[in-house]
Amino acid sequence: MAYGYEDLSRAQEDVIRVMKAHGNILIKKHGFWTYENCEFHKDHNSNIPIFSCQITTLRVLARRNIVTLDENKGICKLN
């Protein structure tokens, strides 16, 4: 049991860990779900954040009531 929740995938654990370390909030920035003030790697013609997660991972966490996800506003909060 990680973070008080049972049966979390590695990706789900990573999201919770990062959210706890960075103010309990993820935002959609430049097409990526990441934390505010996340550093971006400048790679040729694109910027890639040092951390990002899949929307599907956030949706599963939302269904389990671990996060509150608002895709329209581009914000995800840890409950």
Distance from C-alpha of 59 to C-alpha of 67, rounded to nearest angstrom: 9
Q: What is the pLDDT of residue 23?
A: 93
Q: How large is the average pLDDT for residues 33-54?
A: 87
Domain boundaries, the chain: 10-78
pLDDT at 47 (0 to 100): 82
Residue 68 CA to residue 79 CA, distance in Å, equals 6
At 74 the pLDDT is 96
- What is the rounded average pLDDT for all residues in the chain? 92
| Confidence band for 22, pLDDT divided at 50, 70 and 90 | very high
Exposure string over 31-66, b if 16+ CB within 10 A, otherwise e: ebbbbeebeeeeeeeeeebebbbeeebbebbbeeeb
